[in-house]
Amino acid sequence: MAGPRPVVLSGPSGAGKSTLLKRLLRDYEGVFGFSVSHTTRSPRPGEINGKDYHFVSREEMQRGIDKGDFIEHAVFSGNMYGTSKAAVQAVQAQNQICILDIDMQGVKNIKKTELNPIYLSIHPPSVQILEKRLRDRNTESEDSLQKRLQAAIDDIEISKEPGLFHKIIINDDLELAYSELKGALKEEIALVEASKDS
Ligand code: ADP
Ligand code: 5GP
């Protein structure tokens, strides 16, 4: 696909992916664009339809999948999530670095495509700290929280598979993690900034 190389941000729910990517989008306006996924989960307070996600019914999501509208899709914690072709194309049409925030199943499925992104995994310092962050975020029911913690334990183990990720960033101190993230992407950022100047 044309344009700069996309970036996959994966890692356990609650590790800090949204926090980090929102900062990138804010600090590098016009350089990065977010691939807005579809999901069947309910919006959290403050989430905007079409910006954070396309919030859809299961029927609508399944119709899109059947029509071949999705690059990848997965069930996570009882809800469907997926990256549409249109979401990625909308960012690439702007010549921006497309950021995908996807789970481990998404990573494995994107690996089977031609997208060729940089794969980064954001990890919490420990599962205990992850649990505290998820509880403090106050967005999950106890059932959803437990499913997310179990998925986190599995995913942290799978992430160690050699070659799966280009880099694993431990999000302990937010500033340090953000610096590491910017460092991992500095060549792509420079390429896009140079192309915008010319
Ligand atoms: P994800 O998108 O990976 O599910 P979030 O970005 O929503 O995770 O982060 C989960 C919670 O942890 C949020 O409430 C966020 O403010 C908080 N958080 C993120 N990074 C840190 C950090 N380095 N230290 C403390 N809290 C953090
Ligand atoms: P949340 O409900 O916390 O927003 O997201 C739950 C999980 O779904 C996170 O791990 C997130 O990365 C993942 N996710 C979000 N969008 C997609 C998507 O389009 N595809 C896949 N496979 N996972 C996604």
The domain limits of the chain are 7-193
How does residue 1 score in pLDDT terms, banded at 50, 70 and 90?
Answer: very low
Cβ–Cβ under 8 Å, residues 121 and 168 = yes
pLDDT at 136 over 60: yes
Q: Ligand 2 pocket, 102 CB below 6 A?
A: yes
Q: Is 148 an annotated catalytic residue?
A: yes
| Per-residue pLDDT at 52 | 97
Q: Which atom of ligand 1 is nearest to the CA of 15?
A: 3
Expressed in percent and rounded to 5, the helix, strand and coil fractions of the chain are: 45, 20, 35
> Among the CATH numbers 3.20.20.140, 3.40.50.300, 3.40.50.2000, 2.60.15.10, which is that of 7-193?
3.40.50.300
| Nearest partner of 56 among 38, 72, 29, judged by Cα | 38
Q: Ligand 1 pocket, 14 CB below 6 A?
A: yes
Tokens of 68: 């071949």
**Gap from CA of 194 to ligand 2 centroid (Å):** 32
pTM of the model: 0.97
pLDDT at 7 over 60: yes
| Nearest partner of 167 among 13, 8, 16, judged by Cα | 8
